[in-house]
Amino acid sequence: MIVVVGEALIDVVVDADGDSSETPGGSPLNVAVGLARLDVPALLVSQIGHDPRGGVLVRHLESSGAEVMALPTASGRTSVATAHLDRAGVARYEFDLEWSLPRQELPATHLLQVGSLGALLDPGRTAVVDLVEQAVARDVPVSYDVNLRETFVDDLERVQRRVTGLAARCTVVKLSDEDAAALDPERAALDVARSLLDGEHTRLVLLTAGAEGATALADGVEVAARPRPVEVVDTVGAGDAFMAATLAQLFELGAYRGPDSAPTAEDLERILHGAAEAAAVTCERRGANPPRREELPDGWPG
């Protein structure tokens, strides 16, 4: 079982011509769905409103095979993110978000996944950080997808402290080149990723760069991989599909469950290619719609 904690919301996608549609979203929800579709048991802990949109989210999770622990929002409304797509399908986001998750006991799990707005925004961030500390105390590996949104980087020094402080407590950290630029505009993205590898508990950092590929950094190891060419419909949820596919592969390897269970350089190369393929499939269709295992090439991820 992998426990995923963070926001669940409705993505309102507005294309370059002004046409709109609504789909389930929120980075943690997408990761939980992506894991379940890859046949990895997943539980999402989140806040969901008692409204029709909340019902859509719960049905989406359950139909994908994920479990959900849905705590109510104070307003009763489900959060919304509006993604404005440009002609290349790249999204710019606006948010109507409520995040006030109360403290939770960490369920039994092989790994805890946190990230995105749920790990950044008060007051719910406190509960997320507490869950991370519970995992660390139990020697449960923690993964963290930074996944910053420009709208919420209003105080750069505070965001830097929060991201780097949390990353140092996590076994696996993923960030995009855009995350790296937001965190430290003066340094190259790869240098920002290398600095995160210095965290007290951090053993793997993943840096993604869209069509340019991704790099995995571990102790003394840097492995890079590029995705296959794709005809992009939109990029919504691609990073979440990459994260889910990475965690699914680490889960199946039994990685980081003991002192001698780190993936090899060959493992990391295979993980990057497998995660890139899941992200590519997601880019080929509208919205955050990660693939099921049977939609991936035979023998995935080998």
Angle at 65 between CA 132 and CA 147, to 5 degrees: 40
pLDDT band of residue 156 (cuts 50, 70, 90) is: confident
Q: Tens digit of pLDDT for each residue in 236-272?
A: 889 999 999 999 999 999 999 887 789 999 999 999 9
Q: Mention every residue, 6+ apart, whose C-beta is less than 8 A from residue 197.
A: 205, 217, 218, 219
Tell me the pLDDT tens digit for each residue of 95-116: 899 999 999 999 999 999 999 9
pLDDT band, very low/low/confident/very high, at 35 (cuts 50, 70, 90): very high
Residue 152 — very low, low, confident or very high, per pLDDT cuts 50/70/90? confident
pLDDT given for residue 30 in this prediction: 97
Q: Residue 192: what pLDDT?
A: 97
2-291, what's its fold? Answer: UDP-N-acetylmuramoyl-L-alanine:D-glutamate ligase (3.40.1190)
pLDDT reported for residue 75: 92
> So where are the chain's domains?
2-291
User: Radius of gyration over alpha carbons of the chain, in Å?
Assistant: 18
93: pLDDT strictly greater than 80: no
Tell me, what's the pLDDT at 175? Answer: 97
Structure confidence by residue, pLDDT tens digits, 66-91: 999 999 999 999 999 887 888 877 77
